[in-house]
Structure 1
């Protein structure tokens, strides 16, 4: 049988066997009038008033008017049934009504379920309003996706269409409000927010809509907490997030940690001479090893056994700290309580005990870091400080540029390693935030998304 689709949730569209059909303006209005009748038969005289805009005609002119209606009905039937398989007779029926003035021809539209989008919309919303939240959210989103604009847009404001339009708009409004409730109940205020915004926009004087919108925005702000930025790396078939957040690296208890070291992997904080107690290395001993520096040293030595040293300084040349040097970029995965601390050398500790690093050193250490994370990271989230912004400052880059460099290196690594980490967190200390411009990171993600868009277009 011929497949018919009549869409009235927006500008009227007729499709027959998947092909849009163009109707003349009068025939389009005839179709709209029959849809608005909602299954009731419409007499010819009523069609003349509503479709043609003509008052009741004298009896001697009624035949001419009836012929004009029949011509448009015939055009509509031909459009509905191009193969002449009986579809038109099924969908558009001719009836006779008994009136005071005698029998009168009337026409009734009786499509099958699903052939008119408003009927499908009504059925799906009705089912969803009685369903549990997850099912309701799915079905309501499905129903609302059918809406392309104001129902029966061509006859908006005309009396015959008012009840039909009012019913659908009321149902649409109920669907939107219930979708907001369902998504909120499911813990997805981010998905509820755009729907709530559309309700508030359409009902600017509705205090409930305004309160709901304010509540969702507050919930989202609270959920972000310390988050400053979150973006997904555009990768096929998997989700990897990059998050910048304000806080303390050692508060990320569910994540692997990255701690920057010098090429000698010093850990001594005595009198703040070799390593500052306020540095990330100095805090590592206290936070994760209970002040037991020797335990950390043992784990580092175990990891460094497989790494060829670059050389050893003499006691005369380097009077304090360790004297064995390793290549910049050397990374040791230190196991701690079911997770890993990735100790990575990104600076050189001079014999004057001043750590020095540069853009290329940091990039090398990052590239080696991601390779180690891919092997030893247990596919946990990874938290990294703003490396290069501390005592071993990479002077040619400001903090925002350092963050962008970390992000850039990480995105490249994600493309090479399919199971690197589900989330990278770059942790910025609160006292550093005021002097950190994050626009380079935002710009980098804009570029990445543009590149991904061009790739999809090709």
Structure 2
């Protein structure tokens, strides 16, 4: 059968087998008038009065009026049935009304909800009002997607269209309000917000809408909590910058920076400071048992080839076996991973030193390990390089850029690295980190169709890296 689609939720239109059909203005008004009858037969006299907008019927004009209506009916039937298969007469039926003083010809438009957008809209909204939130949200969104403007627009404010238009407008209002509630029930306040904002623009004096919009905004602010910036890389997850403590990110894997000797000793702060992220790792995730962390690290490093071993007289304190920068050891702690990555060199004077190139290459080696062992969980990373590693060439904003662009560059090659990169910034570091610069850069890149923050001006670009199995050997 011919696939027919009549649209009246906005400018009237007709599609046959997916192809738009051009109708004359009078034939379009005839189609709208028949839709407004909602499946009832409409006498020829009524059709002529409403479509041609004439008051009453002049003497001796009935035959002419009937011919004018029949001409438009024939045009509409041909449009509905270009292959002459009989669909036109089945959809637009001719009937005789016998209740009048004399038999009178009438026309009835018979369309299913799949063929008429306002009927489909009505069915979707009515069924959504009785459905569970997820089903309701799906049906209401589908219903609202059908709306392209004011219903039965070609009819203007004509009396014949008023009942259907009033009912469709009321359903449209109900659909939007219910969609907001359904999405709120599902915890998708972000999707409910645009609908509420549109309602508020259209109804600036509606107190209920204003209160609903205010409640939504408050919930979204609560949801963000310590979140400071969010950006989605197309096809490669989200970047989130949060204020807080790395070890409070309980739903994420963690990245902890180490020196090339993977020292863990914090006694008297001679080798590793207790205030450093490594020092906190011992207390926060290993219950203060440094040996437990040390054993786990050494087990992961056994399969790797060291760079060299220092002599005791040259390095009397701390570990003496050095590994290439970028070496990454994944540690399993409470069902998640801690990625211990070497990005600085611990001198024999027990001072950690690193530079932009060291950090860039270490990050390039880190991400393959995250992709392989991270179980596709969010990965949280501090502003590594901003503490005792002394990357003095870069400020905190530049360090943030380097971390972000390194992750984005890797995700272009392996989008399944992690669903979210979460950069955790300590509150004390916020005033020295320009998040607005990063936000502007990301937005500009997105506007130009770039998924990364890589090339161009700003902080140095990151290079590429590769990882092996188990603990990952870095560059030499």
| TM-score normalized by the length of structure 2 | 0.87
In the other structure, the counterpart of 1:216 is 216
Tell whether the 8 Å contact from 1:5 to 1:115 is kept in structure 2 after alignment: yes
Provide, for residues 408-444 of structure 1, a one-character-per-residue CA deviation record: whole Å limited to 9, x for no partner: 2223333444653333221111111122112454324
Q: Is 1:258–2:252 an aligned residue pair?
A: no
Q: Bigger shift: 432-441 or 222-231?
A: 432-441
| 2:53 counterpart residue number | 53
Between the aligned partners of 2:116 and 2:252, the Cα distance in structure 1 is: 52
CA distance in 2, matches of 1:378, 1:53: 69
1:434 alignment counterpart: 431
8 Å contact kept, 2:231–2:238: yes
How far apart in 2 are the matches of 1:304 and 1:16? Answer: 69
**Aligned counterpart, 1:407:** 404
Counterparts of 1:232 and 1:86, CA distance in 2: 53
RMSD over aligned CA atoms reads 2.5
Structure 2 unpaired stretches of 5+: 453-476
Structure 1, gaps ≥5 residues long: 454-458
CA contact (8 A) 1:48 1:55 kept: no
Q: CA deviation at 1:248?
A: 0.4
User: What is the aligned length?
Assistant: 450
Q: Secondary structure at the match of 1:159?
A: coil
SS in 2 for 1:345: strand
- Secondary structure (helix, strand or coil) at the match of 2:390 reads coil
Q: SS of the residue aligned with 1:54? A: coil
Alignment equivalent of 2:389, drawn from 388, 392, 401 = 392
1:87–1:340 CA distance, 2 compared to 1 (3 A): closer
CA–CA separation in structure 2 for the residues paired with 1:59 and 1:101? 17
Superposed CA offset, 1:314-340 (max 9, x none): 444445433332221122223333333
* Residue 312 of structure 1 pairs with residue 293 of structure 2: no
Among 329, 333, 357, the residue aligned to 1:332 = 329
What is the distance in 1 between the residues matched to 2:329 and 2:111? 70
Give how far 1:11 is off: 0.8
- Distance (Å, rounded) in 2 between the aligned partners of 1:336 and 1:123: 52
Aligned counterpart, 2:197: 197
Aligned partners of 1:79 and 1:372: how far apart in 2? 62
Identify the residue that residue 447 of structure 1 maps to in structure 2. Answer: 445
User: How is 1:175-194 mapped onto 2 (pairs within 5 angstroms)?
Assistant: 175-194=175-194
* CA deviation after TM superposition for structure 1 residue 361, in Å: 0.5
Shift of the 388–205 alpha-carbon distance from structure 1 to 2, 3 Å rule, reads same
Is it true that 1:367 corresponds to 2:364 in the alignment? yes
In 2 relative to 1, CA 309–2 (structure 1 residues): closer, same or farther, beyond 3 Å? closer
Counterpart of 1:288? 285
**Would the aligned equivalents of 1:259 and 1:280 in 2 still touch at CA under 8 Å?**
yes
Q: Distance in 2 between matches of 1:91 and 1:378?
A: 57
Asked if the contact 1:404/1:444 (under 8 Å) is kept, the reply is no
Give the distance between the partners of 1:72 and 1:126, measured in 2 at CA.
34
Cα distance, 1:145 vs. partner? 1.5
Query: Residue in 2 aligned with 1:352?
Result: 349
Q: Closer, same or farther in 2 for the Cα pair 1:293/1:111, shift >3 Å?
A: closer
Q: 1:383 to 1:112 in 2, by over 3 A?
A: closer
- Range moving further from structure 2, 22-31 or 185-194: 185-194
2:126 is aligned to 126
Q: Structure 2: how far apart are the matches of 1:196 and 1:317?
A: 68
Mapped to 1, the partners of 2:363 and 2:141 lie a distance apart of 43
Deviation at 1:155, TM superposition (A): 2.2
* Cα distance in 2 between the residues matched to 1:261 and 1:378: 22
CA gap 1:98/1:59 in 2 versus in 1, 3 angstroms: farther
SS at match of 1:367: helix
For the Cα contact (< 8 Å) 1:4–1:115, is it kept in 2? yes
1: CA distance, partners of 2:323 / 2:2: 76
In the alignment, the residues of structure 2 paired with residue 290 and residue 423 of structure 1 have an alpha-carbon distance, to the nearest angstrom, of 28
Q: Deviations over 1:344-380 (max 9, x none)?
A: 1111223333322111111111122223233433443
Greater shift in the superposed pair: 21-30 or 376-385: 376-385
**Distance apart, 1:7 and its partner CA:** 0.6
State how far apart, in whole Å, the 2-side matches of 1:335 and 1:98 are: 85
Match of 1:456 in 2: none
